[in-house]
Structure 1
């Protein structure tokens, strides 16, 4: 992922934002463990 966006206090890849309702993508986010802002 090259593009990140701020969402719900987390930096998430743009692709995840566009397809956030996809269960498969949600599992990827859970496994990826997004970094909290400020870290």
Structure 2
């Protein structure tokens, strides 16, 4: 199965969205630990 460029971009966007929803809640905690 050869993915088209658009399908790759959509897949990347989906992964970024999922990662962000997981990571964003932890960012304030990380800043608190750094400061």
TM over 0.5: no
Q: Which has the higher contact order (CA 8 A, sep 6+)?
A: 1
Q: Which has the larger radius of gyration?
A: 2
Give the alignment's TM-score, normalised by structure 2.
0.34
Give the alignment's TM-score, normalised by structure 1.
0.30
Per residue, is there more strand in 1 or in 2?
1
